[in-house]
Chain A
Amino acid sequence: MFKYIIKRIFTLIPVFFAMSIIIFGISQMTPGNMVDIKLAQNASLKQADREIMRIALTKKYGLDKPIHERYVIWLKNTFTGDLGETVDGKPVTQALAEPMKNTIILNLFVILISLTISIIVGIKSAVKKGKLYDRFWQVFSLVGTSMPTFFIGIILIFIVAINLKLLPTGGMPSVRLEGLSYFVELLRHMILPIITLTIGSLAGTVRYVRNAMVDALNQDYIRTARSKGLSEKVVVYSHAFKNALIPVVTIVIGSIGGLFAGSSITETVFSWNGLGSRLVSAINARDWGIVMAVNLFTAAIYLLTNFITDIAYALVDPRVKLS
């Protein structure tokens, strides 16, 4: 197992570097670098002063160096925790600290709720295969998968916030609140984005759990367990569900990365100050420091979750031999 982990880590390294090259390359190819942006901010300067500024900024941001040298500098800085600065001159690490915390809080709830409901509903749907309950969730998951999350978000805002006036339309809890009142307000602001992201994530996971359970329930060992006179509860939860967990683990761990990357639109719709909405603003502002940092972070999360999935597979499926 230890050997396998080390081997996997070594295979991840070139993938990470390849991703970093792509991310850096795209940022360099896209029009609008830091010098252009800073010059646009200083458009009131006279032509001669702008030229002086252009030369100074080109040097400052290393744009006078060849692209491979710039890449090495960027990567070296990234590894030492220096992610550069935003277009308004703030350190990227500082600019991303709060959004990252908010995204993690939001997504933890989403993963937890989505997983809980998926397992309960998936098992029940498999047990009641073909009945009304199963059909309802089949249709629900189909609708959930086909509807874009921003649309679900807008519908929820319209019904729950605007018409029923139960929750805020979006935003973050007030900085003035502390302790319990802050937590209550945080929950109020999180409910709609959580529901939106959960519906998006739940729809797929329910189908996976259900199908895995249906497969498991059709296996010979289940027939054997039933013929031994075991109760249906024991058959379903101890025998079938344990085996159905294998594909579910892949989906659940894999979805962690997806949630970080996929919440940009939902966060923007609900004015949630997270990594996703920060990424959208940064792209609009050509704030490459932020864009590269968030993309590299998302890439790293994906690699990490893939790695964890492989390990988890071995843990839940005794048939898998890691070598």
Chain B
Amino acid sequence: MNKSLKKVLLGSLVAATVLTACGTKANKELVVDTIEFSGDFFTSQFSSSSYDMDVVHLISGTGTIAQTSAGKLVVNKGIVENDKVELVDDADGNKVVTWKIRKDLKWSTGKPITAKDFAFSLLFQNSKEWKAAGASVSPSEEIIGLVDYSNGKADAIKGVKLVDDHTISLTIDKSKYPYFYEYSYYGIDALSLEDIGEGLKVESGDFGVKLVGDVAAAAKAIKAKQVDSRKPTSTYGKYVIDKTSETEVVFKLNPNYVGNYEGVKPTIPTIVLKANKNEELRFQRLSQGEVDYVPSFIDAKQVAEAKKSPDKFTLHALPRNGYGVLNFANEFGPTKDVHVRRGIAHLTNRSKVIADVFGGDGIATHGEYAIAQWMVKEKEAELNEKLNKYSFDVALANKEFDQSEYRFEADGVTPFDVSKASETYLRHNSKKEPLAVHHVGGSQTVLQSIESGYKENAAKVGMKYTNALIDFKELLKLRDLTAANDPKQSAHMFTLANGFTGSVFDPYISSIHSRNIGDPLRNGMRVKDAQIDKLAEELRAIAPQDTAAFANKWLEYQVRYNEILPALPLYSNYTFDAFSNAKVKESGATAIRSWSQTIEYMKLK
């Protein structure tokens, strides 16, 4: 070999060894593995991913209502002086809540946090100008005048008033009561008017509160400085951003932070979020010591790998606050028929999906719930007793199909003979339409696992089954066609996932109540059932403290859901936070609250 080449190789080896020795991590810091930052760290109104949300959780914390680790809504005593929510009726019978903001709160710039900052946040984040700048704005309907202000029909929010520098009141529409989660009405947060308001002013009077100044110009400037920069300049939270790049955010403890709703402050001096695009190597990065904490991974192979070394790594299993689901188009094609939906449920081998996709770390659910929810724990026995498990059984599937409209041969008159069922001998309805369903999915693993049951057994029940693996955005587009009941819709079944917001379960607002029909996220499959509507309305109207009544009504709702089966829940699995035993003593993450939301409870060794 050439001498110079040998020298080059030897030199490279020496350099690599020296460089290796240089690569050590400092103590007193937690390096967290994350995937890729994509949205904003400011108000999360610009398509923030869950990874961006970790940053938002660490640097934001001015909400007047907080969530406990179990997801219970409580008054945030770290922000307000109030011990509890006290409501007063106004002349119109609407409810007024008055928040007294703590006087010792300071923004990261050192300026005091005042009531004006809360009014500014409400006004700016719901303004039409901020929406025009690209922000996703969805004003809450409860505060009087907020929706009109947001739509540009009013220049002020009538239901918000500044009482003094540290006191603000909100007027809540009387028609919105009673509500089990009424604390969610009272949650507002702040943005620093002085630091980031770009010269805007907040005025308060009988008209409510309004912004004065060039809001459009301010929105443009705020977007550039606070959103696009990915380094908001004035924040209040457990941490402040120290340094940031496209792949890394470094946080230091916020010296101005007074504590959470319990007065607890975080103790880890430095947090580093490192984004790596290669998801396949998440566990390897942990085992190499490149990171100390890997949140939310579900990949069965990586989980199995981590389980091999319990002395080195802890796997913190968190029941998922959501579930995988097979959505049916409820107003289109054969899946309009409840017995077709139930028949398909019997052809779905859900245990196989759980085994194939999650290595067995999950359970089949039978209603609109996730294993993380307190109601599930409370009503576990009744759920087991009252809900149909829709076992994987071709005979039971045929029994359901026989009760459906699709019980005839091709002539639409002669009863279908199960013993003749084949790929060419299909079920038809009285209009001579065949039982043919098209299934779309965005996850190859899930689709492959689930399709096997159908491909093998569809002919045995006289059903034609087709499917397509499509890009997730295409999947959402098809779902939107179904939501709009568009003539171009083509799919009858969609494999998707549903998640719950914290511990809140309110189908009237966020799910299949018929008022939400056509809304892709809430009732995109166009479910319309009077009994479901009634139960959803009764559920939300239960008094906040009456958890027993809520759990009972919730059970009734699940039984009805299970009966009409607007969608077939497939699984509720576990996600895993993995951490190095050498570095992390305990994690505060729960099923409802992520590691970044509970960082004050995490301890290093």
User: Which residues of A pack against B, CB within 8 Å?
Assistant: 31-32, 36-47, 56, 85, 87-91, 94, 98-99, 117, 120-121, 124, 133, 157, 161-162, 165-172, 174-176, 181, 184-185, 187-188, 191, 268-271, 273, 277, 281, 285-286
In the complex where A89-B227, A120-B2, A166-B16 touch, is A181 in contact with B244 (Cβ < 8 A)?
A: no
Contact between A188 and B227 (Cβ–Cβ < 8 Å)?
Answer: no
In the complex where A37-B473, A162-B284 touch, is A124 in contact with B2 (Cβ < 8 A)?
A: yes
Contact between B247 and A171 (Cβ–Cβ < 8 Å)?
Answer: yes
Complex CA gap A273/B277 in Å reads 8
Complex CA gap A286/B15 in Å reads 41
Please give me the 10 A-B residue pairs with the lowest Cβ-Cβ distance, nearest first: A271-B276, A89-B134, A175-B245, A43-B521, A271-B277, A41-B47, A172-B247, A175-B243, A188-B19, A175-B248
User: Which residues of B pack against A, CB within 8 Å?
Assistant: 1-2, 4-5, 8, 15-17, 19-20, 22-23, 36, 38-40, 46-47, 132-134, 136, 138, 223, 227-228, 242-248, 250, 272, 274-278, 281, 284-285, 287-288, 290, 473-474, 476-477, 480, 483-484, 518-522
Q: Kindly report which residue of chain A lies nearest to residue B134, judged by CB atoms.
A: A89
Contact between A172 and B248 (Cβ–Cβ < 8 Å)?
Answer: yes
Contact between B288 and A161 (Cβ–Cβ < 8 Å)?
Answer: yes
Contact between B477 and A36 (Cβ–Cβ < 8 Å)?
Answer: yes
Complex CA gap A171/B244 in Å reads 15
Complex CA gap A285/B4 in Å reads 47
- 5 A-B pairs in the complex with CB atoms less than 8 angstroms apart: A31-B477, A32-B477, A88-B40, A165-B288, A271-B276
Give which listed residue, B228, B244, B474, B521, contacts A94 with CB less than 8 A. Answer: B228
Q: Kindly report which residue of chain A lies nearest to residue B31, judged by CB atoms.
A: A174
Distance from A176 Cβ to chain B, minimum over Cβ atoms (Å): 6
Complex CA gap A191/B14 in Å reads 13
Give which listed residue, B4, B277, B484, B522, contacts A281 with CB less than 8 A. Answer: B277
Contact partners of A268 in chain B: CB under 8 A: 277-278
Complex CA gap A99/B8 in Å reads 29
Q: Kindly report which residue of chain B lies nearest to residue A154, judged by CB atoms.
A: B280
Distance from A191 Cβ to chain B, minimum over Cβ atoms (Å): 6
In the complex where A44-B138, A185-B22, A281-B36 touch, is A88 in contact with B247 (Cβ < 8 A)?
A: no
Complex CA gap A167/B245 in Å reads 21
Contact between B223 and A89 (Cβ–Cβ < 8 Å)?
Answer: yes
Contact partners of A191 in chain B: CB under 8 A: 16, 19
Contact between B288 and A43 (Cβ–Cβ < 8 Å)?
Answer: no
Distance from B273 Cβ to chain A, minimum over Cβ atoms (Å): 11
Q: Kindly report which residue of chain B lies nearest to residue A56, judged by CB atoms.
A: B132
In the complex where A89-B134, A174-B272, A285-B38 touch, is A167 in contact with B16 (Cβ < 8 A)?
A: yes
Q: Kindly report which residue of chain A lies nearest to residue B521, judged by CB atoms.
A: A43
Complex CA gap A268/B278 in Å reads 6
Distance from A214 Cβ to chain B, minimum over Cβ atoms (Å): 18
Contact between A170 and B244 (Cβ–Cβ < 8 Å)?
Answer: no
Contact between A120 and B247 (Cβ–Cβ < 8 Å)?
Answer: no
Q: Kindly report which residue of chain A lies nearest to residue B17, judged by CB atoms.
A: A166
In the complex where A46-B519, A176-B243 touch, is A88 in contact with B39 (Cβ < 8 A)?
A: yes
Q: Given known contacts A38-B134, A47-B484, what 19 new A-B pairs fall within 8 Å (CB)?
A: A31-B474, A36-B473, A41-B47, A45-B138, A47-B483, A120-B2, A157-B284, A165-B288, A167-B16, A169-B278, A170-B281, A171-B247, A175-B243, A175-B244, A188-B22, A271-B275, A271-B276, A273-B246, A273-B277
Distance from A121 Cβ to chain B, minimum over Cβ atoms (Å): 7
Contact partners of A87 in chain B: CB under 8 A: 47
Contact between A168 and B477 (Cβ–Cβ < 8 Å)?
Answer: no
Q: Kindly report which residue of chain A lies nearest to residue B279, judged by CB atoms.
A: A271
Contact between A169 and B285 (Cβ–Cβ < 8 Å)?
Answer: yes
Contact between A277 and B277 (Cβ–Cβ < 8 Å)?
Answer: yes
Q: Kindly report which residue of chain A lies nearest to residue B291, judged by CB atoms.
A: A171
Contact partners of B23 in chain A: CB under 8 A: 167-168, 185, 188
In the complex where A41-B47, A268-B277 touch, is A32 in contact with B272 (Cβ < 8 A)?
A: no
